Amino acid sequence: MSKYVLGHNQYGKAENRIVKVTRKGNDGSWHEIRDLNVSVALRGDFRDVHLSGDNAHCLPTDTTKNTVYAFGKEHGIDSPEAFGIRLAKHFVSSQDPIREAQIRIEEFAWERIPVPTRRKQHSFVLSGREVRTAQVTYSETTGLQVISGLKDLTVMNSTNSEFHGYVKDEYTTLREAYDRILATKVTARWAHSALAADDPEHDWDRSYTKVRTHLLDAFAQTYSYSLQQTLHQMCERVLDHCPRVNEVRLNLPNKHHFLVDLEPFGLKNDNEVYFAADRPYGLIEGTVHREGVQPVIATSDWIVA
Amino acid sequence: MSKYVLGHNQYGKAENRIVKVTRKGNDGSWHEIRDLNVSVALRGDFRDVHLSGDNAHCLPTDTTKNTVYAFGKEHGIDSPEAFGIRLAKHFVSSQDPIREAQIRIEEFAWERIPVPTRRKQHSFVLSGREVRTAQVTYSETTGLQVISGLKDLTVMNSTNSEFHGYVKDEYTTLREAYDRILATKVTARWAHSALAADDPEHDWDRSYTKVRTHLLDAFAQTYSYSLQQTLHQMCERVLDHCPRVNEVRLNLPNKHHFLVDLEPFGLKNDNEVYFAADRPYGLIEGTVHREGVQPVIATSDWIVA
Amino acid sequence: MSKYVLGHNQYGKAENRIVKVTRKGNDGSWHEIRDLNVSVALRGDFRDVHLSGDNAHCLPTDTTKNTVYAFGKEHGIDSPEAFGIRLAKHFVSSQDPIREAQIRIEEFAWERIPVPTRRKQHSFVLSGREVRTAQVTYSETTGLQVISGLKDLTVMNSTNSEFHGYVKDEYTTLREAYDRILATKVTARWAHSALAADDPEHDWDRSYTKVRTHLLDAFAQTYSYSLQQTLHQMCERVLDHCPRVNEVRLNLPNKHHFLVDLEPFGLKNDNEVYFAADRPYGLIEGTVHREGVQPVIATSDWIVA
Amino acid sequence: MSKYVLGHNQYGKAENRIVKVTRKGNDGSWHEIRDLNVSVALRGDFRDVHLSGDNAHCLPTDTTKNTVYAFGKEHGIDSPEAFGIRLAKHFVSSQDPIREAQIRIEEFAWERIPVPTRRKQHSFVLSGREVRTAQVTYSETTGLQVISGLKDLTVMNSTNSEFHGYVKDEYTTLREAYDRILATKVTARWAHSALAADDPEHDWDRSYTKVRTHLLDAFAQTYSYSLQQTLHQMCERVLDHCPRVNEVRLNLPNKHHFLVDLEPFGLKNDNEVYFAADRPYGLIEGTVHREGVQPVIATSDWIVA
């Protein structure tokens, strides 16, 4: 017995790297690949594991790893979300002490290397552009929650960005900008409605492509007066076009590009030469969701009652 | 106007790297340094910044950066927590639209390089052992919340760890272990009571050293039947010895050390030669808190109503 | 005076991040960007700087940084190689003690985000696929040496790779493979002839695209019996098609994909489900050059007289 | 047959992570650990492997990995250098096509966690301070070459550093400094004489500790007019005190700490508050060696005939 309370706890195997090759065509010479990094977290009745080291309720993390690979073979990988849903439901339904499972997946995209022979398609190059993410949580009591996302999508507008009219206090030295570079490395997450999550026919890949396109479009087409405004436009655009998405959260580091002072060298820098800085960086984060919807995407906030 | 709801949002300047030199002694030849990475996040009434790009409520992130450096000079850096409290209160009290500020700090420890002359102490070597962390949140309505912590503290027991008696299902292949290496890279966070947070005399450095020592002691002295059990012992130990700490949360990746099979080479591996694996790794997370206390340390959980 | 010999030494400013925007079209609304990371190393007569701290021969690294940005404005950035040539020659010709300068450049590629308006082209997304590299060395005595390259280009063949017939000794346990995944993260460097280096009209961008295409083609089209064989084919292909390239060196980590044993779960793994391992990895490195040419690309070798 | 020349080539298994536990005392309850990252590179007659994929001369990289672990058990790990010597000689002597082997080792240091019971010593904490390195090359024809080193040792002097009297050209804006912070992350390599390399009794651990101490002492005790001067002092000090070390090479990034301008806030910054910058950074590299000795430590130089 402990005089203290065991609060939120979870365990599992993180970062299981699985690559799945699917052979198509009459002779199987058309290959498709999916390349995932799968993390499993289990929640439930693990009190004795913590208090006495009695492992009778503990499914080893090694077993959860095996399950990821076995499911890759048994059920294939239609999409990160579908794979995550299958895994999450399995752990909760197959083991009594497990009440909730959360599967987090990163997907690395590969593109074909063009080859002259049409059929022999088995060569790929890693598209380093962004990492697709999915977080699936299945709970015995509250059911399924699917959050899709992406990270490391770096974008830049070389004009059409201003920043002025802000508060000035005694520590303000920033000059107002009427034409600046706006660059950010997008981390996006969007929560799907129960309608989508519970629909076995939901096309997760198509949904992903659609959201990604709208995020890029909104970034490119917004004349920006603040990165917050761009963030809001990006979220709105997704909600406007994707009826089964209920909530969008963006994390946008402002990757500062500072105009270099070339005057000491007798040169005029007419918004041409920039120093790309590492740290510090502005960090703009925000959620936009539909009315009447309870936001579910985790923030870095402090949890209050 | 937007037909959607602007939910949780915050902005600020992340990763302001500040190094502060303090000169002591009659001739100032005894130097002390503090080396911090300070991130600022502001929350409040920023609706117009998002909806129309009207920045009248927006204190630039650049100003928050300037404030960090100016406060370093004006008030010094007694500890990460004290510095964070001062900054958080400043932003909330000085700007009307700012209702809440969160300061996150990493501190890098330096140790003296011993030199023969006793007084001229200005040479240091970076102790790469762990990073000290602090998260201070000050809200107009709910006051001060201080969470201290550390990360990247890697520890190992080369024996006194077992793992058996666990659930076996159809995907289980793991063999039970009666003597294994237990290694983990500790991320720890602990929440202080309001008594500590609101006490201007609270010795945050001493508190840090004490918690760190108890975490290490508990890790070293626990005969472990599961990493969860070790986690719980470490949390309990801190709560037992630090009356002003209300809650402890640990994130313990299980850094697997696999016994190498040397039989093909006619050799017996009597728990001597291990392969240290990178991925996947077990990941054990848990919170232990005092009875009657509302946990405040963020988890990677999904937020439910 | 020192009783020891000051051997090879160099200094400079590393990792100057410069982004250059060029406005084209009648109204300047068509933007082009180049995004470089430029490192400068200077060699020459710096004996006194080392022995006595007399800096009379020392051009500050800060000045070399300024020169990078000023040259970006004054001369533009036609290509990493052309920019590097200009910088290297400048340092050697403008300062007497500097006898040799080496400029190393990484270029990050950006692609346009498609927008409906044809003219307003100022939105970009970072293509994370590979980093282009260039190393230009200019010496008072031996002239110009240009080495182009790329790194972080990750490629995979999901079949058409075998490995067998190798040496077996007492420590060999590897099973022969007749169908395996071959994946690697290519680091390539290729040295240009003096004809190319000294030709002010040489089209470095076109040359880069050509080499890159041949590397990818050769990787995709080689039926491989060893990664060394694939390496050699890739090098040969470049030398065959690019007459002004004299030497190619590849560094190919063998990114192992291990077939997961699914038999314990009653499943057959017919080259479908793989575990992508991190460490250790095979590392295959090699240079192929034209006859009669002195190789110039640095290896990780030990330098012998 | 190829019409081109196969130049420098090598292959092997990189980053084999081995942890070795040694039990001492009557009951084996006093544990010692060595934690290494071992990379193997083999050179020799591998022409056919490259040209035709004939692997008859190819010892698989998997076998070299097995050898590392088996040798850990068979011979123990006295020091990174001794372990590397044994491995390098083994590959060259046991396989005819292998003419030269290079072993590169990183060692991660662990320190004991103090526990009350004197005998049960099996708890450790990772000392993140620096990584010890060793590079051993054994060649059939030229014998043994041992280069020891360290990396990631970050040091700072908060005063006793000046920088002035340097060349000013049209791109110079730097102000002369008469009191600055000097900070660097040391990468050091030192080559041992044949006397040391061939002496089976040479105490490599003691030698390492001695060189490391002299590097730190020289850094701390040098009043610096340039980082080059500090570099030279550090090298000299090692050569002065370690007669079996023939050559020292240092790679010293100048980790800039910029004094923050606090005047806009009505504050004087008397060398107290610094901004620690990431990029760009100065990079100072140099070799100092004994007279009559051929330097052997690789530089980033371009190799000329």
For residue range B213-272, list pLDDT tens digits in order.
Answer: 999 999 999 999 999 999 999 999 999 999 999 999 999 999 999 999 999 999 999 999
Tell me the backbone φ, ψ of residue C193, rounded to 5 degrees. Answer: -65, 160
Please provide the distance, in angstroms rounded to a whole number, between the alpha carbons at the two ends of chain A: 27
Tell me the average pLDDT of chain C.
96
Minimum-distance CB partner of D21 among B18, B271, B278:
B271
- Cβ-nearest to B283 among A14, A66, A249: A14
pLDDT band at C301 (very low <50, low <70, confident <90, very high): low
Reference A98, options A135, A147, A61, A146; nearest CA is: A61
Residues of chain D with C-beta less than 8 angstroms from the C-beta of C197: none
Same domain flag for B39 and B127: yes
Q: Is residue A2 part of a domain?
A: no
Tokens describing residue A93: 């339904």
Which tokens is C217 given? 């083609």
- DSSP codes, C64-99: HHHHHHHHHHHH--S-HHHHHHHHHHHHHHH-TTEE
Q: Which of D21, D125, D264 sits opposite B272 (nearest CB)?
A: D21
Q: What is the pLDDT of residues C62-95, one digit of tens each?
A: 999 999 999 999 999 999 999 999 999 999 999 9
- Indicate the helix (H) or strand (E) that contains C135: strand C123-139
Name the neighbours of A, counting chains with at least 3 Cβ pairs within 8 A: B, C, D
Least CB–CB distance from B278: residue in C264, C265, C279 = C279
Domain-terminating residue out of A114, A141, A168: A141
The CA distance from D32 to B158, in Å, is: 9
A141 tagged catalytic: no
Whether C303 has a pLDDT exceeding 60, the answer reads no
Query: In terms of residue numbers, what domain contains B49?
Result: 7-140
**pLDDT band, residue B188 (cuts 50/70/90):** very high
B110 belongs to a structural domain: yes
D128/D157 same-domain check: no
- B30 in a domain, yes or no? yes
Catalytic residue ranges of D: 13, 61, 256
pLDDT in tens, A143-181: 999 999 999 999 999 999 999 999 999 999 999 999 999
pLDDT at res. A305? 37
- pLDDT for A278: 97
Using DSSP's 3-state secondary structure scheme, residue C13 falls into strand
What secondary structure does DSSP assign to B262-294, as a single string?
A: -GGGT---SS-EEEE--SSEEEEEEEEE-TT--
Give how far D148 is from chain B: nearest CA, Å: 20
Does the distance separating the beta carbons of D113 and B275 come in below 8 Å? no
Across the interface, whether the CB atoms of C128 and A128 are under 8 A apart is answered yes
Q: H helices of chain D, where? A: 47-51, 61-75, 80-94, 194-197, 204-221, 227-241
Pair B243, B114 in one domain = no
DSSP B21-39: EEEESTTS-EEEEEEEEEE
Residues of B in contact with A135 (CB under 8 A): 302
Of the residues C116, C141, C166, the one at which a domain ends: C141
Q: Tell me what pLDDT residue B305 has.
A: 37
Whether residue B2 is contained in a domain is answered as no
* Minimum CA–CA partner of A262 in chain D: D171
Q: What is the mean pLDDT of residues D153-163?
A: 97
What percentage of residues in chain A have a pLDDT greater than 90? 94
For B56, other C-beta atoms within 10 Å of its C-beta total: 10
Tell me how far the alpha carbon of residue D146 is from its chain's centroid: 11
Q: Are residues D104 and D28 in the same domain?
A: yes
The pLDDT assigned to B304 comes to: 41
pLDDT digits (tens, 9 = 90+) for D27-80: 999 999 999 999 999 999 999 999 999 999 999 999 999 999 999 999 999 999
In the predicted model, what is the mean pLDDT of residues B62-71? 98
Q: Are residues A119 and A248 in the same domain?
A: no
A121 occurs within a structural domain: yes
Residues near C179 by beta carbon (within 8 Å), at least 6 away in sequence: C159, C161, C162, C271
Between chains, do D155 and B123 touch, taking CB under 8 Å as contact? yes
Query: Scanning every residue of chain B, which has its alpha carbon at the shortest distance from the alpha carbon of D221?
Result: B115
Q: For residue A191, is it within any domain?
A: yes
Task: Provide the pLDDT for residue B301.
Answer: 61
The stretch A5-30 carries a mean pLDDT of 96
B22 touches B33 (CB < 8 A): yes
Compute the Cα dihedral for B221, B227, B232, B238 and give only its sign: positive
Helix (H, G, I), strand (E, B) or coil at D198: coil
**Does residue B1 sit within a domain?**
no
> D75 and D164 share a domain?
no
Residue A47: how many other CB atoms lie within 10 Å = 16
Closest-CA residue of chain C to B169: C265
Q: Whole-angstrom Cα distance, residue C154 to residue D258?
A: 38
Any idea which of B104-118, C69-83, C211-225 has the lowest mean pLDDT?
B104-118
Q: What pLDDT does residue C305 have?
A: 37
Instruction: Give the phi and the psi of residue B31 in degrees, each rounded to 5.
Output: -100, 140
Neighboring chains of C (3 or more beta-carbon pairs < 8 A): A, B, D
Identify the residue with better confidence: B93 or A300.
B93
User: In this structure, are B30 and B133 located in the same domain?
Assistant: yes
Q: Which residue of B has its CA nearest to D266?
A: B70
Rounded CA-CA distance A86/A103 in Å is: 10
Same domain, C97 and C172: no
**B50 and B17: one domain?**
yes
pTM: 0.97
Q: Count residue pairs from C and D with Cβ separation < 8 A.
A: 321
A3 in any annotated domain = no
Three-class SS of chain A? CCCCEEEEEEEEEECEEEEEEEEECCCCCEEEEEEEEEEEEEEECCHHHHHCCCCCCCCCHHHHHHHHHHHHHHHCCCCHHHHHHHHHHHHHHHCCCEEEEEEEEEEEEEEECCCCCCCCECEEEEEEEEEEEEEEEEECCCEEEEEEEEEEEEEEECCCECECCCCCCCCCCCCCECCCCEEEEEEEEEEECHHHHCCCCCCHHHHHHHHHHHHHHHHHHCCECCHHHHHHHHHHHHHHHCCCEEEEEEEEEECCEEECCCHHHCCCCCCCEEEECCCCEEEEEEEEECCCCCCCCCCCCCCCC
Note the pLDDT tens digit of each residue in B148-166: 999 999 999 999 999 999 9
Share of chain D above pLDDT 70, in %: 98
| Confidence (pLDDT) at B2 | 87
Are A267 and C74 inside 8 Å of each other by CB? yes
pLDDT digits (tens, 9 = 90+) for A71-124: 999 999 999 999 999 999 999 999 999 999 999 999 999 999 998 877 789 999
C52 and C137: one domain? yes
Q: Using the beta-carbon criterion (under 8 Å), do D231 and C50 form an inter-chain contact?
A: yes
How far does A291 lie from chain B, in Å, by closest CA? 6
How much is the ipTM here? Answer: 0.95
Answer whether A113 sits within 8 Å of C219, measured CB to CB: yes
B74 and B161 together in one domain:
no
Which of chain A's residues have a Cβ under 8 Å away from the Cβ of C129? 125-129
Residues B88-95 have a mean pLDDT of 98
CB contact under 8 A, A61 and B166: no
Same domain? For B261 and B156 the reply is yes
Q: Is residue A13 flagged as an active site residue?
A: yes
* pLDDT tens figures, D105-136: 999 999 999 988 777 899 999 999 999 999 99
> Is the pLDDT reported for residue C108 higher than 80?
yes
Q: Are the C-beta atoms of D241 and D220 separated by less than 8 Å?
A: no
The CATH number of whichever domain residue D240 belongs to comes to 3.10.270.10
Name the neighbours of D, counting chains with at least 3 Cβ pairs within 8 A.
Answer: A, B, C
Question: Which residue, B100, B118, B140, sits at the end of a domain?
Answer: B140
Distance CA B286, CA C259 (A): 34
Residue of A nearest to D173 (CA): A264
Would you call C13 a catalytic residue per the annotation? yes
Distance CA C20, CA C77 (A): 8
Is the model's pLDDT at D303 over the cut of 90? no
Active-site amino acid positions of B? 13, 61, 256
Cα B134 to Cα D181: distance, rounded to the nearest angstrom: 26
pLDDT level of residue C120 (50, 70, 90 thresholds)? confident
Task: For the beta carbon of residue B198, count every other beta carbon within 10 angstroms.
Answer: 13
Distance from CA of C187 to the nearest CA of A (A): 14
Q: How many domains does chain B have?
A: 2
Count of beta carbons in the 10 Å neighbourhood of residue B168: 12
Question: What are the tokens at B305?
Answer: 């109503």
Q: How far is D25 from chain A (nearest CA, A)?
A: 30
Name the active-site residue from A65, A90, A214, A256: A256
Catalytic residue among C20, C61, C122, C232: C61
Q: Which residues of D touch B156 (CB under 8 A)?
A: 33, 110, 123-126
